[in-house]
Structure 1
Amino acid sequence: MQRLAAARALPRPTAWDHLLASSRAGQWTAGTCMAWQRQASASWATSRAASTLRDVFDLNFPAGQELPSASRRDESLLTAGVLQPQAFRNATNAAFMRSEELLNTILQLPAGSPDIIYHMDNISNELCKILDLTQFLRQLSHHEDAASCDALVVDFEASGIHLPEAERLAIIDAKAASDQASFTFEHMCHRPTELVRVPRRQVPALREFATATHDDDLILNVTDSTTFPARVADSSIREQLFRTFYQSDATTNASLLSLLESRFHVAELSQFDSPLAQVTKTLMLREPDSIEHFLLELSRKTRPLVNEYLGTILHDARFSGHHLNAWDAPFVMRQARAQRMITGMNAYLSLGACMEGIDLVVRRLFGLRLEPVASLPNEVWDPSVIKLHVVSELDDQLVGVIYCDFFRRDNKRNNAVHFNIQSARAEHHDWSRQLPVLAVTLGVPMNRFQPLGLQQCVTLFHEFGHVMHSILSSVRLQNISGTRVAADFAEVPSTLFEKFATEYEFVEQFARHSLTNQPVSEDEFNHNKAEMRAADILNVNESLTMALIDHYLHRQPPQSYAATQALVEQVWHEHSYARIDGVPVWSRFFHLSSYGSFYYSYSLCNAISAKLWQHMFRADPQSTTSGQRLRDQLLSQGGARSPWQLLEGCMAEPPSVDGFVDGYVDYLQESLPH
């Protein structure tokens, strides 16, 4: 807890600090500032009842005070101290030995014995506890039996277990080559850009980002496609920065072709027409034509909304161009937001406030609470990690463990991600429940009352939607537990959970000003929410355009780089709201590595969660009845039932692709400012 203790020692921001800028601007006199300061101090004195959860994540508990020791026992590799190198080696060797013993047991069982499935899951559990933890650290009833068996068969067949030995070995070699091509492509997507030299007088807003200066120029390292163009008034410089970020050469072009060719080779050896046809065997949408239909319908039906919102922001930004280029879009969006005076609600949504909000939602919907507890020696990988116990309000039993690695530090991937470390399952020998253990990472500065703002608050809720999916899983087998579902369904709980962060009924209970402790007003909240959700319409367009590119790249074998780039440009031209004029946008599309053939999953899951929201929570976001139904019919089931069956238990109408599209369009239509 050393870093936490150091952060807690930082001075608390005062009301006077907050108002000083306003005073200098002539909005406050010294007398009114001092009077307001006295009121704020009194407010702070009466607001010490802030929850422990809020205080912990806002680094606002007294120096020297530690988190309470855990009163409930939780067991995992982390509590066993495996972060020590020798302990990890011992745990790995023990897992291999137990797996060998289980394999020998399976070989002694008669064919068709139901115990085979359970012992196979035991092997999977032993290995996954090691592999999931390694992956995290590297990255910072009978229907259940059938589902688990199906999942195992798909995994085995992907390695050619059903084929003659020579063909099986050829598939294994081809898959290894394909995995290497994926790794190479993803590494290429994160490549550094060439430094750009631009006139200082034309980009005054970029001085703080400059790597160096030379004469009257700034030297810039372009790290993304939006940050710099959003701050530059000159369109030609915006284009220069945008093209530099996406610039490709013969090596990057070859990495794309190698990725696609290797995947088509694996599919051919596995007796499939394409990688897309191969992967759909494991998805909710089982046919390539169904995926294409979904994406094309979503593009067609959202186009009027895109055009309407685009017209609004172009007017607000006073943009006079005949068409919108991709490099102009960030600047136009930023100008439009400035005209609308969007605050982002930073003063109301600290990290601690948002965690209090998540606790509020899971208490109301699922009867669970989040309790900060002290970690054991050598249990966590950094002293700033905060451990939470997830406890049932019904019987006070521990149901899960979450490690919150939220604070930015060097040598850490500081993006928002959740990781499964240990899955919920039933122990075969006594049917007791193996405790689910998860980690969530963010990259926020380690400050007291660190503001997140509404968009980051939504992101945090998203990750905890994944966490609740795993925590609430009640299946017996770990390989179909929690988020181990069809890839094009896995984001449904997380995108549904996001929506609670944009409901004032919930937000007014935890979004309080960091100085006055007053709740955010409904007008200010709705103003920010409307802008954020309206901007999502353009995000939907970008996502489905890239999903169509991914879809077509994995449906027909690549002929040449020129033909592949032409395909990308054609899809972009037909579906995107902005022009790219030859820019190889695929060159930073790292999702091609991990989501190849099924990047559409994000769009589909957003559409499904919008439909679920309409059926379950739009009328009453705090409905405990709907929360219980969501828990019992969907979250607890993991991959034991098909997504279609899960949705039938939650919706008042038969689920369908067209219904998902229409529900999503209705949801987006409500987002447009009127």
Structure 2
Amino acid sequence: MYQTRMFSRKFAKNAFKRWGSLSRPWSWSRNVSTWSPLGTAFNTKPEQRLNLSFDRECVGLFGIPQLKDYTGFYLLQEGACNATEELVREATARGRTRKIVEVFDQLSDTLCQVADMADFVRVAHPDDQYVNAAEDACVSISALVEKLNTNIDIHRSLKHVITHGDIVETDAIDKRVAELFMFDFEQSGIHLAEDKRRRFVELNERILMLGTQFMQGCQKPTTVSRNMLPKHLQYVFHTDKHDVQVQGLFSDHHSDLIREAAYMAYLHPDQRQMEILELLLTDRHQLARLVGFETYAHRALNGTLANTPENVRQFLDGLADKLQPKAEEDFEHLRKVKLSHGGTDRDIHPWDTAYYCGISRNEVCELGSIDLSPYFSLGGCMEGLSMLFRSLYGVSLEYTPAGYGELWSPDVHKLSVTHETEGILGYIYCDLFERGGKPHQDCHFTIRGGRQMESGTYQNPVVVLMLNLPPPNRAKPSLLTPAMVENLFHEFGHAMHSMLGRTRYQHVTGTRCPTDFAEVPSVLMEYFANDYRVLSTFARHWKTGEALPENLLNRLCQAKQMFAASDMQLQLFYSILDQEYHGKHPLGKTTTELLAEVQNQYYSIPYVKDTAWQQRFGHFVGYGAKYYSYLMSRAVASRIWQHCFKDDPFSRTMGQRFREQVLSHGGGVSPDVLVEAMLSEQPTTDRLVQSLIDDTQN
């Protein structure tokens, strides 16, 4: 019920001048830079800001009155349960006066407002009491959802409306959302006979358990006997008296031998982990067959932009053919770089790519990430994002002081997203800094979805962006590497998808849309983050205000485009393996044998014997049969960039069109319809493949 990435120098100068007339976040006095309230908030150590909330009443976490302390989760659960009972009665009543889809969406919203918020709190809150209470809330709401998903009466009411029409006049959006609710029902096996429904529940529980176990195993270090390593490598890794623990791939280490040793040890086959993966794949296949799908991939892709596994393979195979020669050029370049830097042999191995790509990019840029970071303070980047959004959409990011008790950590910032004529569109909580116990992942959480209220007002969305950036201190602000800047832009793409959407129903608001479409707005933002005209509006030294020299800006953008073909080929390999794993069963081979076969066919670096890369790939759990989404979303985003924003990345006309044709609809309209409306052309496989190939030539 709820759903738990060159133009003229004259133009660049004119663009900066135009931005300066809109807002002047920078001013110079004796070479000292000053900041707007937005920039100041993100560039200042939290302890340095005055706490003026000592005389104010606690407003509760996220401003939710019940959450003045952790016990409020139980009040929220009770309220959700009571509201659910009322809505179930309304959905099945003969005298219902509202559209069935309105009742279902309010039911979904009631559950999501507790479940989505609790799901975030249980992974991010530093207080164990809040974490435990949120975990209990997640379990409670999940049980309630499971009960609803097997409620024959509300299923019958919805099915009757879809088949015979509602008692209230409906339109295309109502019908699509009703069908999405029905699809969720049938994904849960409600239409099955009782014995098959019990089997569905059993399989679903096993899949969840196996997924958790597999994810835990992905992070587990490899332990080997010290005597298995040459003496000169025994003390490189973490050691105790007899054993060596390898906790990662050491991809950036300068020694070829150490990177190789780490690769071989960390990816050495773990029999238990591979058994878990095979059981997970088998149970997924059985569950899909139980509810009427040929394979798990067919079930997972139903209703997406790709729609079927056959379409995905046509896209991936077409890309593989055109990408191969360009990827080979990248690897030949890497071989020359390796030899020029004392590499032990001419071949490029899997443990070489990240290290020698980094060296090559730094040589082109002339400065390393550490040298560039002073030009990308977090406050400066936030001002750059706000100016970009003001230009494209007429909205600004405004720092908003949080109420007492509203935040879970003092280094979290609250932003209001304000439109120049429409007012506040929603709120973004920015949990952007590293801290102990915080998950090491960059992600977007929906806390409350947007929807049209019966009163005629709009329920504004609330989201959290979580990153792991270096925190500011008393000496300097948080300084970002170019990769961090790109990640920041990416996550704000998700946030603005939520903020700018104005859907009738929260079930399809913002990022609540098919996975291969949900990444389009965020990946599109990466193109802005890699455009020197955009970077030139905010890339300033945090202390002196000095602009990052234009030649270095151009070199930085050039360096970030290097090895695009080989990077893409690696993602292609991952995507095809994911499709193979979730295709026809039994596989006929072990997962490692299939891995070797796919890698040798689709990737320019062959499989390394006695390794099992798949046992560390946690995306098989969250993106099962959907890992291709990264490439397809990039293809769509690339086509939108090339057609709409490449000539002018500040175009209000195109920004407004993107909002109206894409962002505002969330999942309320089929993604292929939205893409065609934006581009005025059908997103055919050939066009999408060509867009990705064009990216490798820029």
Give the structure-2-normalised TM-score: 0.83
Is 1:353 aligned with 2:375?
Answer: no
In structure 2, C-alpha distance between the alignment counterparts of 1:343 and 1:500, rounded to whole Å = 21
Select which of 591, 610, 622 maps to 2:650: 622
Which residue among 199, 224, 230 is the counterpart of 2:252?
230
- After TM superposition, the structure 1 = structure 2 runs for residues 202-601 of structure 1, keeping only pairs within 5 Å, are 211=238, 221-225=245-249, 228-235=250-257, 237-318=258-339, 319=343, 321-340=345-364, 341-344=366-369, 345-395=372-422, 397-427=423-453, 429-447=454-472, 448-559=476-587, 563-582=590-609, 583-601=611-629
Displacement, 1:383?
1.4
Aligned letter for 2:247? T
* Distance apart, 1:518 and its partner CA: 1.2
Residue aligned with 2:560, SS: helix
Matches of 2:66 and 2:225, distance apart in 1? 47
Shift in Å, 1:289: 1.1
* Residue 194 (structure 2) aligns with: 165
Q: Which moved more, 1:637-646 or 1:277-286?
A: 277-286
Q: What is the aligned-residue RMSD (CA, Å)?
A: 2.6
Query: What is the CA–CA distance in structure 1 between the aligned matches of 2:53 and 2:390, rounded to whole Å?
Result: 21
Q: Tell me the distance in 1 between the aligned counterparts of 2:386 and 2:363.
A: 35
> Is the CA contact (8 Å cut-off) linking 2:524 and 2:637 kept in structure 1?
yes
Cα deviation for residue 452 of structure 1 reads 0.9
The Cα shift of 1:213 comes to 8.4
CA 382–195 in structure 1, closer or farther in 2 if over 3 Å, else same: farther
The alpha-carbon distance between structure 1 residues 195 and 392, as it changes in their structure 2 partners (threshold 3 A), is farther
SS in 1 for 2:518: coil
Report if aligned partners of 1:349, 1:453 keep a CA contact under 8 Å in 2. yes
Q: In structure 2, what is the equivalent of residue 18 of structure 1?
A: none
Kindly indicate whether the alpha-carbon contact (under 8 Å) linking 1:67 and 1:374 is maintained by their aligned counterparts in 2: no
Match of 1:15 in 2: none
The answer to whether the 8 Å contact 1:343/1:528 transfers is no
Moved more, 273-282 or 322-331: 322-331
The offset of 1:44, in angstroms, is 5.3
Of residues 134, 137, 141, the one that matches 2:118 is 134
C-alpha distance in 2 between matches for 1:669 and 1:242: 31
Shift of 1:66: 5.4
| Candidates 183, 196, 208, aligned match of 1:179 | 208
Give the secondary-structure state (helix, strand or coil) at the position aligned to 1:632: helix
Amino acid at match of 1:511: A
Deviation digits for residues 410-450 of structure 1 (CA, Å, limit 9, x no counterpart):
111132111100001011x3131111000011112222322
In 1: Cα distance, 2:245 partner to 2:402 partner: 40
- Give me the whole-angstrom Cα distance separating, in 2, the residues matched to 1:121 and 1:176: 26
Query: Aligned with 2:553: secondary structure?
Result: helix
Residues 414, 441 of structure 1: 8 Å contact kept = no
The 1:295/1:511 distance shift into structure 2, 3 A limit, reads same
Shift of 1:640: 1.1
Name the amino acid aligned to 2:99. Answer: D
Shift, 1:195, TM fit? 6.1
Cα pair 1:279 1:597 within 8 Å, conserved: yes
Matched residue, 1:189: 218
AA partner of residue 280 (structure 1): L
CA offsets 1:544-577 (integer angstroms, 9 cap, x no match): 11110000111121356x5321111110111113
1:105-126 CA deviation, whole Å, 9 max, x = no partner? 1111458x76211011001000
Q: In structure 2, give the amino acid aligned to 1:364.
A: S
Relative to structure 1, the CA distance from residue 489 to residue 393 in structure 2 (aligned partners, 3 Å threshold; closer, same or farther) is same
- Which among 681, 689, 698 is matched to residue 661 of structure 1? 689
Alignment partner, residue 97 of structure 1: 82
Greater shift, 484-493 or 534-543, is seen at: 534-543
- SS of 2:184 mapped into structure 1: helix
Q: Is the 8 A contact 1:160 1:168 kept in 2?
A: yes
Deviations 1:599-643 (A, max 9, x none): 100110011100110111011111100000000000001111111
Q: Which amino acid aligns with 2:682?
A: P
1:316 Cα deviation from its structure 2 partner: 2.5
For residue 370 of structure 1, give the secondary structure of its aligned residue in structure 2: strand
Q: Is 1:124–2:149 an aligned residue pair?
A: no
Alpha-carbon spacing, 1:49–1:109, altered in 2? closer, same or farther (3 Å): farther
Q: Distance in 1 between matches of 2:213 and 2:547?
A: 49
1:176 maps to amino acid = E
Change in Cα spacing, 1:84 to 1:248, as seen in structure 2 (3 Å) is farther
What is the aligned length?
A: 611
> Can you give the 5+ residue segments of structure 2 that lack an aligned partner in the other structure?
1-26, 125-169
Question: In the alignment, what sits opposite 1:14?
Answer: none
Distance change (3 Å), C-alpha of 1:64 and 1:77: closer
Output the CA distance in 1 between the equivalents of 2:245 and 2:512.
Answer: 39
Query: Which residue of the partner structure matches residue 32 of structure 1?
Result: none
Aligned equivalent of 1:36: none
One-letter amino acid of the counterpart of residue 527, structure 1:
R
Q: Displacement of 1:193 after TM fit?
A: 2.3
Q: Label 1:631 to 1:229 Cα distance change in 2 as closer, same or farther (>3 A).
A: closer
Local SS of the residue matching 2:384: helix
One-letter identity of the residue aligned with 2:623: Y
Distance 1:233 1:105 in 2: 67
CA contact (8 A) 1:461 1:494 kept: yes
- The separation in 2 between residues aligned to 1:165 and 1:201, in whole angstroms, is 63
Q: Residues of 2 paired with 1:313 and 1:478: CA distance?
A: 48
CA contact (8 A) 1:365 1:622 kept: yes
- Matched residue, 2:15: none
CA deviation vs aligned residue, 1:483-509 (integer Å, no higher than 9, x gap): 011111110000001111112222111
Q: Kindly provide the amino acid, as one letter, of the partner of residue 129 in structure 1.
A: Q
Q: Residue 53 of structure 1 corresponds to which residue in structure 2? A: 38
The answer to whether the Cα contact below 8 Å between 2:66 and 2:75 also exists between their aligned partners in 1 is no
Query: Would the alpha carbon gap of residues 597 and 192 (structure 1) be closer, same or farther in structure 2, given more than 3 Å must change?
Result: same
3-state SS of 1:284 partner: coil
2:297 partner SS: helix
Name the amino acid aligned to 2:335.
Answer: L
| Contact in 2 for aligned 1:402/1:439 (Cα 8 Å) | yes
**Would you say the 8 A contact 1:373–1:387 is kept in 2?**
yes
Query: Whole-Å Cα distance in 1 between the matches of residues 111 and 456 of structure 2?
Result: 20
The residue identity in structure 1 corresponding to 2:123 is: Q
Letter in 2 for 1:588: R
Whichever residue aligns with residue 400 of structure 1, its letter is G
Change in 2 beyond 3 A, CA 1:202/1:566: closer
For 1:81 and 1:441, how far apart are their aligned partners in 2? 24
Measure, in 1, the Cα distance between the counterparts of 2:551 and 2:230. Answer: 42
Match of 1:27 in 2: none
Return the offset for 1:516. Answer: 2.0
| 8 Å Cα contact 1:364-1:622 kept in structure 2 | yes
1:39 corresponds to: none
1:86 maps onto 2:51 in alignment: no
| Cα pair 1:387 1:403 within 8 Å, conserved | yes
| One-letter amino acid matched to 1:96 | C
| Cross-structure match for 2:6 | none
